[in-house]
A = this chain, B = another copy of it.
Amino acid sequence: MAKKTRHKGDEAGRPAKTLHVDAEHKAAVGRRLRRIEGQVRGIEQMIEEDRYCVDILTQIAAVHSGLRAVAKETLRHHLRHCVRDAMANDPGSLERTIEELLEVYHRVR
């Protein structure tokens, strides 16, 4: 189980890791991101072909909604593991966990 540290990186400066990751969650989110990557390349293609602006904007909206699904899945995973772990076993980190969640909640809306 990857040790999870809360600050930006652990003592050795390595980036923070999530405590526990469901393999199924990881595979599903990975697939969705690869699809989004393809959609972004598709928009580059449309720009190259001088496609109609409204069609391009419609594709951008599709990428936004794909990203929101990834964010929702990531948030679900975060609530199930990191937030629950903090709330149940680490009252000292409760306020920081809540503020972190509120901060991200507003940025990813």
Contact = CB atoms under 8 A, between A and B. Distances in A.
B4 A64 contact: no
Interface residues of A, number: 63
Given A52-B18, A54-B104, A105-B72, A47 B61 contact: no
Given A63-B67, A67-B64, A80-B98, A57 B106 contact: no
A69 to B, nearest CB: 10
Given A30-B47, A33-B40, A84-B87, 18 more contacts: A15-B49, A16-B51, A17-B50, A17-B51, A18-B50, A26-B50, A33-B43, A37-B37, A37-B44, A54-B101, A57-B75, A57-B108, A60-B71, A60-B108, A61-B108, A76-B102, A79-B101, A84-B94
Contacts of A44: 30, 33-34, 37
A84 B2 CA distance: 25
A4 B61 CA distance: 22
A47 B67 contact: no
